[in-house]
Structure 1
Amino acid sequence: MQSYTVREWDKLTYGNGDGQIPEHFADRLATLALRSSFAGRGGSGVLEHGRHALRARGVVGILAAKDCSLEILPKIDVAPGESINRQNAAIRKRLIHMLAVALDLKVDLGTMTELAWQRETLLEILIRIFCDKLTEAVRKGMPRRYVEVEDDLSALRGRLNVARQFTHHAVNPSRLACRFDVLSDDTPLNQIMKAAVGHLSRISRSSANQRGLRELAFVYTDIAEIPPPTLRWGEVVIDRTNRPWHELLGMARLFLLNRYQTTTGGAGQGTALLFEMNTLFEEYIGRLISRSLMGTDLTVSLQGGRLFCLTTEANERGLFQTKPDILMRRAGVVTHVIDTKWKRISSRIDDPKQGVSQGDVYQMMAYAQLYSASRLTLLYPHHPGLGDQEAIHARHRITGHDTIVETASIDVSDGHDVLNRIRRLLLVEGPAEKATKQGATPDQL
């Protein structure tokens, strides 16, 4: 299978040279992308199928069609001066780190060699991590639980099923209709793991992964095979007896469900594992902020506002509900509203507005009115064009109000000390407070 890699918002031109893709492969991948829920009405939400090139948009992940696959990586500035392969390897690490935080997984990125990060696609790396973790878990013992069984026996076991006894065995008292509990490993959790192994076996192209998946399939031979749409996710109970399986359940959701990604397949047309970067960035930052502020007097809620912009006079019905990405409260009072935006802003030297859209400003003004927060932040990914370090880049006062709206950036290419970096960004005294002490005021919106 031919594999190709492109970064978010970049182009992959048609042709047979290095860094190009044959047009018939591009057609297959674009057709598969159209089936994604991220494609949108215009059909170009994942890939723009141009006359001369494919152009990636704000969705990352893997598209795998017949005889070819396309890996779309996020536009993260890493390893300047390194080769493209090393840069792509570093981006894969950062993307998997973001997924691990967003999905509350513990993933040891050091278990894979640097060569594997460069050679394997994002999908194969995720499959390998899952295989390694599941293999380790089943070696320690497959989780089991008591399930109720009904059977007709010659001696009483458990409880007598009176209704069945006097209807089916009224003339044959030598058989007893029994109900009893047995310790079984054919549980919803193990059925989910078997479904994940089967699904990944059909889409993996790595010989090492296929070998690991075959070994796992043998382990799950006696577990009932349940189609993914009918898996009983709601019946899975994670407690102290099976706590290590929490992460594996999260990874199974990643492969089998539609939370951050869409998976498609069937009829030999291919498979897609895609993530919308706006949603992933929002969840990633929200969880990091929640962790960084633990132990303070601030509480954090993700999309927890949901106040309405308008109320009808007739029946007091709310219209135009708001969903701020992150709300910070002190003693129950909202003090800070944060909205994440996965887009590149420019420096104030290049553009006083920094490329911030007017719609985003109006949205923040609505939040200021509804939530009465004194501080609102538009938080973007950092890039070298904004300077050497992440920071609060601009602070403005809403005209006629004391509310501050600021633009800030966080560097997702650097995972070092990230919780303390976020804490400093949110809790340190900002330029507005310093300027106020000196008799100056922030810019007005």
Structure 2
Amino acid sequence: MQLREFGKFKELPSHIDNVKFRSFINNCWHNRYSLYDDNYLLNEDEDKREQRFLTFDGNKIKARNYIGFINYEGENITIYPKIFYEKIPENVMDSYLITNLMYWLRNSEKIKLPLVKTDLDFKNTSNFLEIFIYLFAKYTADLIYENPFNNYEEVEEELEFLKGRLNTSAYLKENLSTGKWNKFNCIHEPYRYNNKFNQIIKYVSKLLLNETKNKESISYLENINFILDEVEDANCTVYDCNQIKLNRLQEKYNLVLNFCEMFLGNSSISKTNNENKLNFCFLVPMELIFEDFVYNFIKMKLSKNFKEITKQKSSLYLGDLYINDNFVSRAFNLKQDIFIMDLEDNISILDTKYKMLDSRQHPKFNISQGDMYQMVSYAIKSGCKNLVLVYPKVDGFSDDIKYVINSPFLEDSIKVKVLFINFKIGYEEYLKEIDLFKLYEKQDEIIYKDILI
């Protein structure tokens, strides 16, 4: 089943229980923080308890601004972005979206998507979940074989000799008062292989083993379970992942922990024919993807040209609040998407807008008046005259577009440049280029030319 961002309603397959599916989606909504924090994108008056992934109308669903993949009760639901052409064949859409997602999120800082370098061909893989099962299985199997995870873990037990520290309250209540004064209730931290993190890894591996059909993934997952044979079996949740603290010598295991958080925080387990079945959801807001991509691209490719590149800088306030002529506080914080200072201390403020402009709607081109007011506010409060609105590139725009704002209160004009970048990988180039890394390098070159400011 394929949906388009802000597209039309479609009927859910008959075998999917609407109530249970909605409950699953709502649960994934509350657990999305294991991947990203999108609260700043939501309106203050919105009910943040109710999921915002999909709109329901009886047994029909419609996509909102979140794109990605849902695997539920054997049904694969793909939500692709509005910037994709509608003429792309349905049988190619999933792999095309996966290829773009991997490109957009490869250097992401806001979205905790665990990615490792791999020779796996995303272009010939249409199952998003299978890709991440493979990445987790291969990386984890290699890591725990070469560098087994042992950790100090706090244990409370009754011993005939004092070890660690005495649990005084428990000793007085359970030992001394009952005549067992010669036994000690101790708290100590042994160096254990059978620790909580290994239990989580084993649990996730067994869970994925029931789900994958990829022979290589099955082999890697079986190796993980073989290596962790002495580790106790335990049911684990994403909250168990939150309790794991890794030190700097265990940094390689951060990626494994992120994988486990992703699988456990964005999934549910259902019983189907007496077998555990994994229902999985990976949906990300396109505004967050676009903003994060532009910032990371500038940071990675243009950092040598600038003294400072800062995202979400919030040092500006539109006004000050006075009550009875007494200053109370600053008000109306202006959060700048991307703040840049070049080597000569010239400042630029970039605001990313995930929106498709229309060259036919002259002279505004569908640019929001509120967005333009926001840019003017930046200019007035910061003194910066180099302002840029950044949009995904669409057909119809080939000329440079700039708005000049004059005011008797300002000595110089405020200039707002409209910048378009080739955000998505071209479909024709996607079909033509076999090597995935070359495809990404070519796309980098295209965006590099677009984004020079």
Q: Distance in 1 between matches of 2:113 and 2:140?
A: 17
Is 1:56 aligned with 2:67? no
Q: Distance in 2 between matches of 1:299 and 1:62?
A: 36
Is 1:138 aligned with 2:144? yes
Structure 1 residues 166 and 63, CA gap change in structure 2 (3 angstroms): closer
Aligned to 1:408, which of 394, 415, 419? 419
Aligned to 1:342, which of 354, 358, 382? 354
What is the letter of the counterpart of residue 356 of structure 2?
Answer: R
Matches within 5 A, 1:268-347: 271-314=280-323, 315-330=327-342, 335-347=347-359
Q: CA deviation at 1:305?
A: 1.5
Deviations 1:39-61 (A, max 9, x none): 96698954455699754332112
What is the letter of the counterpart of residue 146 of structure 2?
Answer: K
- Is the partner of 2:106 in helix, strand or coil? helix
Is 1:183 aligned with 2:180? no
Q: CA deviation at 1:182?
A: 2.8
Structure 2 unaligned runs (5+)?
Answer: 31-37, 273-277, 426-439
Partner of 2:2: 5
Aligned to 2:366, which of 334, 355, 366? 355
Partner of 2:260: 252
Aligned to 1:399, which of 406, 409, 421? 406
Contact residue 286 and residue 302 of structure 1 kept, 8 A: yes
Partner of 1:438: none
Aligned to 1:101, which of 89, 100, 107? 107
Q: Distance in 2 between matches of 1:341 and 1:399?
A: 24
Is 1:72 aligned with 2:79? yes
Deviations 1:9-67 (A, max 9, x none): 444755xxxxxx65675957974687346996698954455699754332112234445
Q: Distance in 2 between matches of 1:324 and 1:142?
A: 44
Q: CA deviation at 1:139?
A: 2.1
Contact residue 327 and residue 334 of structure 1 kept, 8 A: no
Structure 1 unaligned runs (5+)?
Answer: 15-20, 429-445
Contact residue 188 and residue 236 of structure 1 kept, 8 A: no
Q: CA deviation at 1:195?
A: 5.6
Is 1:90 aligned with 2:102? no
Is 1:129 aligned with 2:135? yes
Q: CA deviation at 1:286?
A: 1.9
Structure 1 residues 152 and 288, CA gap change in structure 2 (3 angstroms): same
Root-mean-square deviation over aligned CA pairs? 4.4
Q: Distance in 2 between matches of 1:332 and 1:183?
A: 54
Taking structure 1 as the reference length, what is the TM-score of the superposition?
A: 0.72
Contact residue 6 and residue 70 of structure 1 kept, 8 A: yes
Q: Distance in 2 between matches of 1:289 and 1:60?
A: 24
Q: Distance in 2 between matches of 1:310 and 1:263?
A: 45
**Percent identity over the alignment?**
19
Q: Distance in 1 between matches of 2:330 and 2:314?
A: 13
Contact residue 205 and residue 221 of structure 2 kept, 8 A: yes
Taking structure 2 as the reference length, what is the TM-score of the superposition?
A: 0.71
Contact residue 341 and residue 348 of structure 2 kept, 8 A: yes
State the number of aligned residues: 403
Contact residue 299 and residue 328 of structure 1 kept, 8 A: yes
What is the letter of the counterpart of residue 416 of structure 2?
Answer: V
- Is the partner of 2:304 in helix, strand or coil? coil
Structure 1 residues 33 and 307, CA gap change in structure 2 (3 angstroms): farther
Q: Distance in 1 between matches of 2:236 and 2:25?
A: 25
Contact residue 311 and residue 317 of structure 1 kept, 8 A: yes
Q: CA deviation at 1:225?
A: 3.4
- Is the partner of 1:343 in helix, strand or coil? coil
What is the letter of the counterpart of residue 263 of structure 2?
Answer: F
Contact residue 309 and residue 319 of structure 1 kept, 8 A: yes
Structure 1 residues 69 and 32, CA gap change in structure 2 (3 angstroms): farther
